[in-house]
């Protein structure tokens, strides 16, 4: 079981996204995702968030909002607890990322991109300003087979 962070960094109506195209073996290969990664020993969610954003983008977050926990259960990749954040306050210069291509995209365009099906659910929750949530997403391969929000199965 892994712990990870994911952050959607916004600048006005745009969001910094990572197109995962550089690694040969990557569960997110060819998908667009926010910025984040795996916890290192002894890190809190905030420690991991700040380190991963700095390492992947060159940016330093000044403030952030902890939005929820997403539990991914996959028959191929195991179980992951993803700590979900958003931020609109940062400084620094964007750098090249070893894991993919960084691009500022319109927030409204995200559902049309090649993203995980379950990502559409938590993107909607972020967009709707939902209070802190727990979302469980169960996958078979690339197919979402179950979504449970705050203990209730979604249709």
What is the pTM assigned to this prediction? 0.94
Any residues with CB less than 8 A from the CB of 76 and at least 6 apart, and which?
Answer: 27, 139, 141
Judged against a pLDDT cut of 70, whether residue 7 lies above it is answered with yes
Query: Tens digits of per-residue pLDDT, 109-124?
Result: 999 999 999 999 999 9
The answer to whether residues 133 and 86 touch, using CB atoms and an 8 Å cutoff, is no
Instruction: Specify the CATH number for the domain of residue 96.
Output: 3.90.79.10
| Percent of the chain residues topping a pLDDT of 70 | 95
Query: Tens digits of per-residue pLDDT, 113-155?
Result: 999 999 999 999 999 999 999 999 999 998 999 999 999 999 9
Q: Supply the pLDDT for residue 26.
A: 61
What range does the domain containing 73 cover? 2-153
89-93, 96-100, 144-148, range with the lowest pLDDT = 96-100
| C-alpha torsion sign, points 15, 19, 25, 27 | positive
Rounded to the nearest integer, the mean pLDDT of the chain is 94
Q: How many domains does the chain fold into? A: 1
Range 27-35 average pLDDT: 83
Residues facing 153 on adjacent strands: 148
Range 66-88 average pLDDT: 96
Range 51-74 average pLDDT: 98
Judged against a pLDDT cut of 70, whether residue 58 lies above it is answered with yes
Judged against a pLDDT cut of 90, whether residue 52 lies above it is answered with yes
Token pair recorded at residue 60 = 């330093």
């Amino acid at each position: 079981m892994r712990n990870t962070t994911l952050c959607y960094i916004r600048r006005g109506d745009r969001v910094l996204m990572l197109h995962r195209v550089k690694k040969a073996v990557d569960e997110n290969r060819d998908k667009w995702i926010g910025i984040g990664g795996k916890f290192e020993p002894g890190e809190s969610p905030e420690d991991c968030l700040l380190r991963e954003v700095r390492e992947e983008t060159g940016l330093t977050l000044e403030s952030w909002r902890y939005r929820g926990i997403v539990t991914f259960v996959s028959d191929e990749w195991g179980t992951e607890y993803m700590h979900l954040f958003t931020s609109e306050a940062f400084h620094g210069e964007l750098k090249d990322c070893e894991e993919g291509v960084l691009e500022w995209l319109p927030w409204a365009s995200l559902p049309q991109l090649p993203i995980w099906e379950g990502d559409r659910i938590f993107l909607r929750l972020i967009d709707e300003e939902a209070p802190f949530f727990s979302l469980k997403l169960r996958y078979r391969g690339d197919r979402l087979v179950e979504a449970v929000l705050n203990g209730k199965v979604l249709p």
